[in-house]
Amino acid sequence: MAMIRSLSSSPPPAKRPRLDFSTKCTRPTSDFKGGLMLAPMVRSGSLPTRLFALKHGAKLVWGPEIVDKALLHAERAVDPVSGTVHFNGVSKAIFSCHPIEKPYLIYQIGSADPELAVQAARIIKDDVSGVDLNCGCPKPFSTHSGMGAALLTNPDLLCSILTALRNELPPHISVSAKIRLLPSQEDTLKLVKRIIDTGVSAITVHCRTRSMRPREKALIERMREIVEYVEGLAVDVAIIYNGDCQGYPDARRVKEITRAHSIMIATAAESNPTCFDPNPLTDLEHTLLPSYVQLARFLSIHWANTKFCITQFKGPCPVTGKDKRKEIKELISRTKSYEGLEDISGPWDGEMVLNEIQDILKRRNDYLLIDESDKEEQWAGLPLSPHDTNQEIQKVNLLPSYEREIMIAS
């Protein structure tokens, strides 16, 4: 099968020496606590989005749900220039990832069969740090096959998949689940307990029921009881909140209400992948879009996917102005390839963008805590962004630095 670079609508014109992104070891994969996470999002959870989320402070990133059978029929190919790993389908990659995100990347699997789930997880385990079972997607394409939210009413199957994954995957690959609330809080707690008994490292709770739509307000008030229930079990399992968090500043409000161990962000990150930063970018058409497009092209991300992602960008535009933003949006809508955005993207140097992200991740330390005396006022578990230099912090129980955890080969 041809390399995905040849399938991309507009590849970089010339090859350059391949960057060395090999890894000798990975970060601890059980550490799901004390951070902001990028939610799994179909189409929107693209590789460039994940990398920019990590650059701006996301602790872990979930890839979009990939059904087990799709991965089983894909062909793994490594781009010799960028280092991108593509799992190629018939006409394009069904999933793309990169070694620099591996220590932070969770693969979300769609499955209704323990054996197929294990087979798919084995294929991708060397490119990710964890596997998460989708137990919450309410879309018919998922539920009609018994996957996603359909598993909520089939807990025996749900738990058998998680048990199989935990038994068959290496210990350093974490196993987790993402669920929705059941109509009854009692039934939700029972399900959480059963999932914990499978040996998972974390459970993400999307605080909406299967029948609720995204426009309906999340039932955030139900989360605290779930967290306290799990803590009462005295088990080392992280409980992650998902639902309506608008970014870093809003995370403190959510933390105070829920006491969740971490918070997962979806819609806000789709609109602005830098929302994990205490100072997220504004005027995205000028501050994010050019770098995003350059990076996506260098990584050979299919233009259609990139186009979808950048059309979702929105937020304050004090400099750009609404008229200029509208003009840019219309240009994107008409554009059929990367080359159509040359006036916006500037020189094609996605390699430089990737190197910048890599450098930030190498300096990053996920174990910085706010000063002990501030714990009552601020969420000690909320990680500080690489750009958050104004806060007084104390290194508590400092674990090895990124260089020792990832050990990028020179």
pLDDT at residue 318, rounded to an integer: 85
pLDDT at residue 321, rounded to an integer: 84
Share of the chain above pLDDT 70, in %: 81
pLDDT at residue 1, rounded to an integer: 40
pLDDT 10s digits, 170-207: 999 999 999 999 999 999 999 999 999 999 999 999 99
Contact between 191 and 182 (Cβ < 8 Å): yes
pLDDT at residue 366, rounded to an integer: 57
The closest of 60, 74, 64, 8 to 32, measured between CA atoms, is: 60
Per annotation, catalytic residue among 97, 137, 207, 275? 137
Q: If pLDDT is split at 50, 70 and 90, which confidence band does 6 have?
A: very low
- The answer to whether residue 375 scores a pLDDT higher than 80 is no
Q: Report helix, strand or coil for 56.
A: coil
pLDDT at residue 347, rounded to an integer: 83
The closest of 123, 126, 175, 184 to 152, measured between CA atoms, is: 184
pLDDT at residue 285, rounded to an integer: 92
pLDDT at residue 212, rounded to an integer: 95
pLDDT at residue 399, rounded to an integer: 25
Report the C-alpha gap between 254 and 392 in whole angstroms.
Answer: 22
Report the C-alpha gap between 129 and 121 in whole angstroms.
Answer: 11
Share of the chain above pLDDT 90, in %: 74
Copy the structure tokens of residue 335. 């554009």
On average, the pLDDT of the chain sits at: 85
The closest of 109, 153, 148 to 132, measured between CA atoms, is: 109
Number of H helices and number of E strands within the chain?
17, 14
Report the C-alpha gap between 35 and 57 in whole angstroms.
Answer: 9
Any residues with CB less than 8 A from the CB of 171 and at least 6 apart, and which? none
Residues 214-242, buried b or exposed e (16+ Cβ, 10 A)?
eeeebbbeebeebbebbeeeeeebbbbbb
pLDDT at residue 23, rounded to an integer: 41
Report the C-alpha gap between 383 and 42 in whole angstroms.
Answer: 26
Q: Which helix (H) or strand (E) holds 176?
A: strand 174-181
Q: Report helix, strand or coil for 302.
A: coil
- The answer to whether residue 280 scores a pLDDT higher than 70 is yes
Copy the structure tokens of residue 37. 């996470």
pLDDT 10s digits, 102-158: 999 999 999 999 999 999 999 999 999 999 999 999 999 889 899 999 999 999 999
pLDDT at residue 346, rounded to an integer: 82
Contact between 406 and 23 (Cβ < 8 Å): yes
Q: Which helix (H) or strand (E) holds 264?
A: strand 262-265
Copy the structure tokens of residue 163. 């048990």
Residue 235 Cα distances to 5, 91, 201, 258, angstroms = 45, 45, 10, 18
**Average pLDDT of the residues in 34-54:** 97
Report the C-alpha gap between 65 and 47 in whole angstroms.
Answer: 13
pLDDT at residue 348, rounded to an integer: 86
Give me the amino acid identity at 271: S
Q: If pLDDT is split at 50, 70 and 90, which confidence band does 15 have?
A: very low
Q: Report the alpha-carbon angle 171-107-143, nearest 5.
A: 115
- The answer to whether residue 300 scores a pLDDT higher than 70 is yes
- Active-site residue, 137 included: yes
Give the residue extent of every domain in the chain: 29-271
- The answer to whether residue 355 scores a pLDDT higher than 70 is yes
Copy the structure tokens of residue 237. 């399992």
pLDDT at residue 409, rounded to an integer: 26
Report the C-alpha gap between 38 and 72 in whole angstroms.
Answer: 25
Helical segments of 197-313, H only:
223-232, 248-258, 267-271, 284-287, 289-298, 303-311
- Would you tell me which CATH number, out of the four given (3.20.20.70, 3.30.70.240, 3.30.70.100, 3.40.50.20), belongs to the domain 29-271? 3.20.20.70
Q: What DSSP designation does 75 have?
A: E
Contact between 402 and 363 (Cβ < 8 Å): yes
HEC states along 342-378?
HHHHCCCCHHHHHHHHHHHHHHCCCCCEECHHHCCCC
The closest of 210, 239, 216 to 148, measured between CA atoms, is: 210
Q: If pLDDT is split at 50, 70 and 90, which confidence band does 322 have?
A: confident
